[in-house]
Structure 1
Amino acid sequence: MITDNTLLVFIIVAVLGLIAIVQITLAIRQDKLVSAAGPIEELAVYEKRLEEKQRLMDDLEEELAKRREAMAVVADIGAEVDGLRRQKEELLSEWNTMADKREEVQSLRREIEDVVIERQSLEAEIVPLRAEYLAVKERLEKAEELVGRIDALTTEHGEISARVETMRNQLRQLEEAETRVTRLEEREKSLEAEAARLEGRLASQQDELAELSTRVAKEREDLAEAQSEHTRVEAQTAAEKVELRRQQGELASLGETRGTLEARLAYLQGEIAKSEGRSPEGEAAETDKLRELREKPPVIRAMAGWLPADRENETDALKRVERRLQAKGLKYPARTLHAFHTAMKVNETTQMAVLAGISGTGKSQLPRQYAAGMGIGFLQVPVQPRWDSPQDLMGFYNYIEGKFRPTDMARALWALDEINNDEAVQDRMMMILLDEMNLARVEYYFSDFLSRLESRPASNNVADANERKDAEIELEIPNMQQPPRIFPGYNLLFAGTMNEDESTQSLSDKVVDRANVLRFAAPKAISAARPEGKVPDIRALSRSRWQGWLCPVSRVEGEPRVRSGVETMVELMRDFKRPIGHRLGRAIMAYVANYPEAEGSRPIEDALADQVEMRLLPKLRGVDVELASSQFSSLRTFVEQELGDDKLASAIADSLQASEETGQFVWSGVTR
């Protein structure tokens, strides 16, 4: 017979087993719910209900723990069997109550099975979605591949567009070449007519020479017959001899002119032949064609013999130039010397310096002696009135001789081209002076060269062939696979002189915009030239030393006086209806940045005043003095009060007074 204690133990064990079963069931349910939580969001509700059941189980476990404590003292509560029986009844009642919970567990199990079935259904629905996803992914990869191909095609399209543009440019060049051939044919006809005229004139001069020879012979016979008139006849004969020499000189000049015209005619015929695909000179060795170009001119040979200059600073070099000028008996104000020196330093933003004025004011001597004092090579190029093309400056190809006939300037440029000439002179500077550059129309012979200078890349980019291609000069030599190209680098300084008389031409706006124009005013008194001291020896200035003296624009960009001065100059020129652009504004600031500091000078104010003199006033040529009287008054006030240059303000007033007769402003220059 089962005792009450055994029954109690059995009940407790049964309850514990039931609780364990409930826990396992709930754990299984929990695991299933967790595994189904990913794809099925609706299980969140079941999870909440499960949490409530879990709390209920926790309460049961707590109560069970209490009952376990009661079992520990079963031996002590034997007397309380009745109480235990009542507890048994309560437990039986509770067991009956647990039947409802068991039913609820079964219900939850059925719900979990439903959830599993629903999950399987969702997984079945996910399978086609996954397949669709893989298909979309594959299409996306193909789309990315197509995008790559589109990028490649876009790049290829850009290259083809560039080639089309190049071909269009070539077509345009061919059309221009056809037009040029037409002009050359017309020029050939005119030159043939000119040659015929010159031949007739030459024959006439020869007849005149023969006649003069006959007259001389007759005079000599008269001299032998009339000894009493010896003195008079001798003087007359001398006069005739002078005339004869003059005629002979003119005849020689005509002969040279004829030779030049014949060479020019040969060149034009060669150009025509080249355009027609013919080779007028035959097969000639390229080395023979360039032999004269490779010959170093005297200035280059002289530079090779100079000793290097001492390691001196910029101020000492300027003092050496001053000593040379004094030893030569030349007197220039320090302000003029500093202005010319600065104009040479800014050749990256301003391509040249022009010295203008009447003849005999020392325009040519200043650059010559400056170059010698600095240790810079000097080449003077006398401009001829007949110059009308860049070939007059660089030379031409002689089709008769099959050789390129370079000028001294072309040979000097080639000798100093460190980029294209492996045998170039290294680390040297040279100045080229176009003497009386306005005897011919500057835009005819120098405009193309000036554009090349302006197209030069920055000094730190000259090694890039693509950057410097627009600045290089390609010599026109036919039937050469690679005609030589000359790069006029920053080791070259360019200056020019221009006289102002009835035989000269005015400078074009293009030259004025790209040059610092120093105008030498007529002297107020003639001073005697007295050489003082010994002429210093010439010592070669290295290009690296020269580069070390150059300063970037950034040096003065943040200076308030500079910015204020430049802005005032811009406003003044706008009021004059002669506006200036960014390029000229930057050039003015570059001039200020490179102005040398000397004792007693005011670098910023003096430099700005120089730029008013050299860049603004030449652009005001032809402005109506009466209509622009208020603008000229503002300009004088700016120069006199803000820049403190009384001499320049006075010179502006003198030029205004001198311009009253014509009513149009003409800048006459300032005497320092």
Structure 2
Amino acid sequence: MKIPENIRREHILNAIQKIREDGVPDHAQSSTYDVVYEEERFPPKLVMAYANIFANGEELDRRNFEGGRGTECFRILEENGFRIVEKKKYQLQTKFDVEKLKEDLRKTGLLLEDRLLNRFVTALLAKPFVILTGLAGAGKTKLAQVFAQWICEKAEQMCIVPVGADWTNREALLGYPNALNEGEYVLPENGVLNLLIEANKPENAGKPYFLILDEMNLSHVERYFADFLSVMESQDRIPLHPETEIWKGCKVPGQVGLPANLFIVGTVNIDETTYMFSPKVLDRANVIEFRVTSEEMKRFLEHKTPIDLNNIRGKGAGMGKAFVEMAENRKWQLKENKNLTDTLLDFFNKLKKVGAEFGYRSAGEIYVFVAIANQLIPDWPENEVIDAVIMQKLLPKLHGSQRKLEGALRTLGELCLKEGQDIEDYFVKDKVIEKVKYPLSLDKLVRMYKGVGNNGFVSYAEA
């Protein structure tokens, strides 16, 4: 079959845009070469097949023409200014290296603190559901996006979904059976269900997949996300449609699970348009707060480094399998750690007085987090690791009135100090928080204390 000679650059660009929007169909991937455009890679024969739609009104049958060096397909692409390269051969690494992530991120111009990256990566491995909260515009969504781009081989392994204020049930994420045509399933346009289906395929078990829910509290999380929250703990599967005879021809399976290679990241902004999380949600996640220090803002204003994420795509893909294997490991063993045990018991007893104590699940996840941190980042100081788990797993459920919380916040603050330090220096005299036992948690408790004093009510997310 001869490829029409009237295919021009604009037709090829339209084809690339179509692939970006629709994704690459099954069995359309190239095995040897890619067309490169704006640092993204596309299957050459698929590009040519789609380009003919815009040039001549129909898609070319890829079985009827050849791809490869010296072929008509490649000649037309190169004559129109497109570069064709051999496919990346990602070298699998047996160990996930967080230092390589930090090194590659620095080259993008993103200002992300090493300790924040330590917490984010370790949290994902300990429990693949992380909520990023804090200052708007501080880089919450960008962190989730750039990490997924770094560790994923293909763009199809990531799905970013802006949550709608009108989401009242699961249909926005999982679609629904067509009530007017039994045997037909209506897929959500945002691609979430497709991502879940791909992640569940046995051949993809070693590849990480990321679902990023942007502003996930713009609607009630407990309504649209209920199936996900339930299956996270039960390890069951989410039913989609009846598995009867009439549904046998449907491409959507009757049930879908949340496999160990699926990582869910939600971003949260707090204002008058959003909803607070229930303990059910907070108990199933690691909550990481974003703050911008004056030193970080100064560095940003002085350097104004342009952000370029193109160079980071796929740089960590060789470690994707190792990352998934770490996340799948359910046998993390933590050496006896009296400091951690005593600290957790102290916080449990104080939190219990205000009805915010933690259960066995949270305690177990904290031990997994610390065990992973010890292996992944051996030089991460113990008190910094414990500080991180207090901040991410124990404090997020704190909310209430001044009468309920004021005394408890001071008592919890005292647990963050070293022997001989006075809580009044931080809660009343505004002393700079440094050289305390758990500075991250103390800073949060001080902000909550001031918030409850000023407003009569406070929550973790609002302080």
Normalised TM-score (structure 2): 0.67
2:269 equivalent to 1:499 = yes
Match of 1:617 among 363, 370, 395: 395
Partner residue in 2 for 1:341: 121
Unaligned runs of at least 5 residues, structure 1? 1-291, 457-470
Asked whether the 8 Å contact 1:296–1:412 carries over to 2, the reply is: no
Q: Is the alpha carbon distance of 1:519 and 1:434 closer, same or farther for their aligned partners in structure 2, counting shifts above 3 Å?
A: same
Check conservation: 1:295, 1:411, Cα contact below 8 A.
no
Contact 1:428–1:542 (Cα < 8 Å) also in 2: no
Q: State the partner residue of 2:197.
A: 414
Residue type of the partner of 1:480? I
Amino acid in structure 2 at the alignment position of 1:443: E
Classify 1:576/1:302 alpha carbon distance in 2 versus 1 (closer, same or farther; 3 Å): farther
Contact 2:406 2:449 in 1 (8 A): no
Shift in Å at residue 368 of structure 1? 1.0
Residue 312 (structure 1) shift: 5.8
Closer/same/farther in 2, CA of residues 629 and 660 from structure 1, 3 Å limit: closer
Residues 324 and 480 of structure 1: CA distance in aligned 2, closer, same or farther (over 3 Å): farther
Of 630, 633, 646, the match for 2:439: 646
CA distance in structure 2 between the partners assigned to 1:566 and 1:626 by the alignment: 24
Q: CA shift at 1:521, angstroms?
A: 3.1
- CA displacement at 1:552 relative to structure 2: 5.3
CA distance in 1 between partners of 2:307 and 2:222 (Å): 41
Deviation at 1:510, TM superposition (A): 0.9
Provide the identity percentage: 21
Give the SS at the match of 1:555.
coil
Give, in whole Å, the separation in 1 of the partners of 2:91 and 2:160: 23
2 CA distance for matches of 1:323 and 1:573? 39
Q: 1:424-573 alignment to 2 at 5 Å?
A: 424-456=203-235, 471-476=236-241, 480=246, 484-521=254-291, 524=294, 525=297, 527-528=300-301, 529-531=304-306, 535-539=311-315, 540-541=317-318, 544-549=321-326, 555-556=333-334, 558-573=336-351
CA deviation profile, 1:154-185 (whole Å, cap 9, x unmatched): xxxxxxxxxxxxxxxxxxxxxxxxxxxxxxxx
1:323 is aligned to 2:103:
yes
Q: Which has the higher helix share?
A: 1
1:531–1:645 distance in 2 versus 1, CA, 3 Å: farther
CA RMSD of aligned residues (A): 3.4
Q: How does 1:196-235 map to 2 (within 5 A)?
A: none
**CA 639–427 in structure 1, closer or farther in 2 if over 3 Å, else same:** same
Distance 1:638 1:480, change over 3 A: farther
Q: Is the 8 A contact 1:556 1:562 kept in 2?
A: no
Partner of 1:374: 151
The one-letter code matched in structure 2 to 1:488 is: L
2:120 is paired with a residue of what secondary structure? helix
Looking at both structures, which has the greater relative contact order when contacts are Cα pairs under 8 Å and sequence separation is at least 6? 2
Partner of 1:495, secondary structure, is strand
CA contact (8 A) 2:239 2:254 kept: yes
Distance 1:545 1:293 in 2: 26
Change beyond 3 A, Cα 1:437–1:601: same
Partner of 2:362: 584
CA-to-partner distance for each residue in 1:531-577, whole Å, 9 max, x for gaps? 58993451424664125545656622522222222222212211333
Alpha-carbon distance, 1:451 to partner: 0.5
Task: Specify the structure having the higher radius of gyration (Cα).
Answer: 1
Residue 607 of structure 1: how far off its partner (Å): 2.1
Structure 1 residues 532 and 522: CA distance shift in structure 2, 3 A: closer
**d(CA) in 1 for partners of 2:378, 2:365:** 25
CA–CA distance in structure 2, aligned partners of residues 509 and 654 of structure 1:
21
C-alpha distance in 2 between matches for 1:310 and 1:293: 25
Distance between the aligned counterparts of 1:303 and 1:293, measured in 2?
10
Matched letter for residue 132 of structure 2:
L
Please give the alpha-carbon distance, in whole angstroms, between the structure 2 residues aligned to 1:601 and 1:448. Answer: 36
Which amino acid is 2:234 matched to?
S
Kindly provide the CA deviation profile for residues 495-546 of structure 1, in whole angstroms up to 9, marking residues without a partner as x.
1011111211111221111111112236544623415899345142466412
Helix, strand or coil at the partner of 2:273: coil
Seen in structure 2, the aligned counterparts of structure 1 residues 537 and 498 have a Cα distance that, compared at 3 Å, is closer
Assess, with a 3 A threshold, how the Cα gap between structure 1 residues 654 and 297 changes in structure 2: closer, same or farther.
farther
Matches within 5 A, 1:19-58: none
3-state SS in 1 of match to 2:161: strand
CA distance, structure 1, for counterparts of residue 330 and residue 449 of structure 2: 36
Deviation at 1:629, TM superposition (A): 3.7
Structure 1 position 641, deviation (Å): 2.3
Matched, 1:393 2:163: no
**CA apart distance, 1:613:** 0.9
Query: Is residue 334–residue 367 contact of structure 2 (8 Å, CA) maintained in 1?
Result: yes
Structure 1 residues 399 and 380, CA, compared in 2 at 3 Å: closer, same or farther? same
Question: Following the alignment from structure 1 to structure 2, what is the Cα–Cα distance between the partners of residues 635 and 505?
Answer: 26
Asked if 1:360 corresponds to 2:360, the answer is no
Cα 1:319/1:485, change in 2 over 3 Å = same
AA in 1 matched with 2:99: K
Structure 2 CA distance for aligned equivalents of residues 302 and 479 of structure 1: 40
What's the counterpart of residue 372 of structure 2? Answer: 594
Aligned with 2:267: secondary structure? strand
User: Structure 2 CA distance, aligned partners of 1:649 and 1:512?
Assistant: 20
Could you state the TM-score of these two structures normalised by the residue count of structure 1? 0.48
Return closer, same or farther for 1:334/1:387 CA change in 2, 3 Å cut-off.
same
8 Å CA contact 1:323–1:535 kept in 2: the answer is no
Asked whether 1:405 is paired with 2:171, we answer no
Question: How far does residue 580 in structure 1 lie from its aligned partner after superposition?
Answer: 1.6
Q: Partner of 1:6 in structure 2?
A: none
Question: Are the equivalent residues in 1 in contact too, given 2:208–2:321 (CA < 8 A)?
Answer: no
- Change beyond 3 A, Cα 1:512–1:354: same
